[in-house]
Structure 1
Amino acid sequence: MPLQFAQLPPALRWQELGTEFYQACPSTPMAQAHTVAWNAEFAQALGLAELTQQHQIADYLIGNQTPQGQTPLATVYSGHQFGINAGQLGDGRALLIAELTDPEATRWEIQLKGAGPTPYSRRGDGRAVLRSTIREYLCSEAMHGLGIPTTRALAIGSAQHTVWRETRERAAVLTRLAPTFVRFGHFEHFYYHGQPQALQKLADWVISHHYPECQSNTNPYLALLNAVIYRTAKLIAQWQAVGFCHGVMNSDNMSILGLTLDYGPFGFLDGFNPAHICNHSDDTGRYAYQQQPQIGLWNLHCLAQALMPLVSKDDLLAALANYQDLFESAFAEELRKKLGFSNWYESDWSLATELFELMQAAQTDWTIFWRTLSHWITEQNDTRLSDLILHREGLQNWLQQYRKRLTIDAQEPKQRSSLMLNSNPKYILRNHLAEIAIRKAENEHDFSEIERLRHCLSNPYREQNEYESYAQLPPDWASTLSVSCSS
């Protein structure tokens, strides 16, 4: 008997737009389905707790069956990849299979990533491999735990099916959710294909369902752009604060809702290096850590250009001119919390910059340093910090300035430390931690490490003694790991 999803409406909102925006596309079945990971906590929040023990669920997770007989669809979009207009792209391996409304009245789109080829696969097989699916599952939930806007991951399904990348690998399917998966590239598609009516229809749809506050504006499309600029600036400031590197910030990987979207060759900083490149395929360093704020603006320019039929050029340029201030303000707010300040003053930038220079010179571990500083506030023991910064005299000079700055704020040390501990995570998804989980899954068919990591990363700011090893410096072999666009 097929599973019943009482929360699912009979139709997808995307279908309101018409078939020029998508194509119906059945998933491609795979034999011997099994569940690799099931996010029971997220399922509970979605109102899907009853599905946790359903033995049929694996067939839904890989697309062998679809809820209530609905036909999946793939959407069309375009975009700029590594700075070049790539023309028509689209959901080459992502299928929108259903929507649901959770108990908190949030509406979610449900996608299967890797469920087979679509009309937009561009000669690809439409599959995802187990290693990349595990990475996206873990990182999307890690980002949620960090409080950073992101798509969410419900489950991983796999089967007795292999695909060829650099070598033969096991296929897997990720079940991921978001209020919408609309990208900057959706707007670019209709702009570059000379379809202004479709472009306006898409903008109206996004405003109606996701930015209703823009409807009362004199120009709702300009209001939409301003809202996206604000969300994007804030998102990237949050990335920078935790040392997250996206790796492929193409315009088609940018969410219209300001969510972290498409986890491919991502990575978190270990030793602090502003020029760090997490994507082995990024030969020029276009998407290096220090480049992310400006690439965010570059992509917003792509979105603004796509909106030219709806908004005057002068208004678009004026809106984009606000980005730098918005980003700096958002990043200052993140640094304020990381440093334990009640307020942020312009002079604090020099204090932060000096600290960054000390950390860069020593390749100081980004996450461990900030967590150690959070404890230093109450301990006032310089030894642990001195072990992280090679330039001891420079560190002492900086701490002297820092102590003086702290006297400006009337906060008790415990109160300040609490603010910092809730802003400086102890646990992040380091590459070697994901790799250990991947190797166990691929080589031993042991999926337990995936759940252990997910559980730990769902509370990254809390001390968890059972996961203490996850908070240590990466082992030497971690430096040999590389990730690329191949998945």
Structure 2
Amino acid sequence: MQSLSSKEYKNEFVSTFDGDESGDLKPRQTPGVLYSKAIPTPVKQPTLLAWSEDLAKELGIQKPTNQKEVDILGGNHVTASMHPYAACYAGHQFGHWAGQLGDGRAITLGEWETAAGTTWEFQLKGAGPTPYSRRADGRAVLRSSVREYLMSEAMHYLSIPTTRALSLVATGDPVLRDMFYNGNAAFEPGAIVMRVAPSLLRFGNFEMPAARKETENLRKLVNWTIDRYYPHIQGEGEERVLAWFKEVVERTANLMVEWLRVGFVHGVMNTDNMSILGLTIDYGPYSFLDDYDPNFTPNTTDLPGRRYAFGKQASIAYWNLGCLASAVASLLPDTKALVETLEAYSDVFASKYLTMMGNKLGLDQVQAADTELIEQFEKVLSTIKPDMTIFYQLLIDFPLTIENEQDVWSHFQDSFYKDTESEEREAFYSLIKAYVARINKNTCSREESKKRMRASNPRFILRNYLLSQAIEELEKGENKLFIQLQEAIKEPYSSKFDEFFAKRPEWATKKAGCSMLSCSS
């Protein structure tokens, strides 16, 4: 185990690419470079609030034992081997080209190499202004930092590709925020998260040099990305780029399927929030589904169009991949093969989705006829809108001998948020009867079927109202719920934390931070 202060950090990105080394934090355009040097701005009193023991053990990091190491996590100390920088990238935001964006409140300190030889980027989120902060202060509040720290770790334990969070630090400084951009700004306690990932490269990193027609920068970035993160891809030139893009397509499709499996809604799927490694990145106005509503978006900024609603995420991923394809197109002699690779997304996603749904439902294998049953589930659930997590848990233990409509309804009663019409009850009963008939055709045992379902359907999810309660407690100096949630996220498929196995309470339906959030979240 090594301490944060004694480690010799690597800086492969900044040593490979041209950057603005002036250290000037004034907001500006930075053509021709892929990053700008950005030293974190010191805060009043860095205090360690949370530390991910499991991640630290995996990376071989010793928990901070003195203030100097906490200062690293809070941006008050930079070691001699670190080279802090903010990446320059662009993006399409809500479907529109936004031009240069970049790390506006995130600063990468360096790269931590483990004993096994793997390398992880260490990035502070909320460590102060950078040249890409535009009119912002580069800071983060406790509210958004708690949400990122807990959810990125929760997604890891759900077995969903994600960036990780090593630490959560209170800064001791107040930060002014207008949560819903409605003129009601208020001071909130500041905080910083140490974000960790093999790479934090986004689609937007490739869009920026492409838009500026910096073809050599783009080519160098693509080749470096393949060499470093896709070393199994062989060949050269067009063949190599296409093989890489094909894998990005597959990873992105897989990520969308995984989000849909657990009911996760990202909330702001701009191209600058899409990982080139197929990771979940940038935890802002996210949410898990409570009631099953494909049209649900947790992001007030996404209204009224609901571009990033739960049920639209797969198609938005395809749209974003199209933007990435446009960015790398200049590296190829023509776009025919690139377009064909992009178009394959639909089939890749559909195949992965059906397999995932088969596991959620406990099917031995997904046959052609099962597609209709899966579509029936989606249609009926989106009409009745039961609690997604609770419904699938009740489905696992549904006794296949029940035939009476009222008994079926009673079994799932705890998942319903509302009274239903007779037609809805009939549709639900028909669905369950069709499901039982299909399960009875399984070639595997009922216990094997349930095992698949338990592995695919989480019992604990980090609901927004729980996060809101934990944040309110932390702001009062209490951490009981926060600590409970830190433990609960580690065992989402068990019944160990069934005190949280409950529907969203009525009071949380319209409470800020529980039902709706914003990009400030």
Shorter-chain TM-score: what band?
over 0.9
- In the superposition, the TM-score normalised over structure 1's length comes to 0.95
Q: Sequence identity, in percent? A: 38
Contact 2:4/2:72 (CA < 8 Å) preserved in 1? Answer: no
- Alpha-carbon offset, residue 374 of structure 1: 1.3
1:257 maps onto 2:277 in alignment: yes
Note the 1:61-460 alignment, pairs <5 A: 61-166=73-178, 167-216=186-235, 219-283=239-303, 284-311=305-332, 312-376=334-398, 382=408, 383-385=410-412, 388=415, 390=420, 391-442=424-475, 444-460=476-492
- Alpha-carbon offset, residue 215 of structure 1: 2.9
Deviations for 1:89-136, whole angstroms, at most 9, x for unmatched residues? Answer: 111111110211234443110000000001111121000111001001
SS in 2 for 1:309: helix
- Alpha-carbon offset, residue 70 of structure 1: 1.9
- Alpha-carbon offset, residue 388 of structure 1: 3.9
Distance 1:67 1:56 in 2: 10
- Alpha-carbon offset, residue 409 of structure 1: 2.0
Residue equivalent to 1:57: 69
- Comparing 167-176 with 352-361, which one deviates more in the overlay? 352-361
Distance 2:356 2:79 in 1: 41
- Comparing 231-240 with 339-348, which one deviates more in the overlay? 339-348
Letter in 2 for 1:469: E
Contact 1:133/1:174 (CA < 8 Å) preserved in 2? Answer: yes
1:486 maps onto 2:520 in alignment: yes
Distance 1:422 1:478 in 2: 29
Contact 2:460/2:493 (CA < 8 Å) preserved in 1? Answer: yes
Contact 2:10/2:81 (CA < 8 Å) preserved in 1? Answer: no
CA-based RMSD: 1.9
SS in 2 for 1:358: helix
Residue equivalent to 2:46: 33
SS in 2 for 1:422: helix
Contact 1:377/1:416 (CA < 8 Å) preserved in 2? Answer: no
Letter in 2 for 1:273: D
Q: 1:14 to 1:368 in 2, by over 3 A?
A: farther
Distance 2:133 2:169 in 1: 20
Gaps of at least 5 residues in structure 2 are 20-32, 179-185
Distance 2:192 2:301 in 1: 23
Distance 1:34 1:250 in 2: 33
Deviations for 1:236-287, whole angstroms, at most 9, x for unmatched residues? Answer: 0111111111100000000000000100000111111111111011121111
Count of aligned pairs between the two proteins = 482
Distance 2:145 2:157 in 1: 18
SS in 1 for 2:456: coil
- Alpha-carbon offset, residue 377 of structure 1: 5.8
- Comparing 269-278 with 3-12, which one deviates more in the overlay? 3-12
Q: 1:52 to 1:418 in 2, by over 3 A?
A: farther
Contact 1:40/1:52 (CA < 8 Å) preserved in 2? Answer: no
Distance 2:114 2:190 in 1: 30
Distance 2:358 2:64 in 1: 41
Distance 2:508 2:173 in 1: 29
Residue equivalent to 2:30: none
Contact 2:5/2:68 (CA < 8 Å) preserved in 1? Answer: no
- Comparing 354-363 with 229-238, which one deviates more in the overlay? 354-363
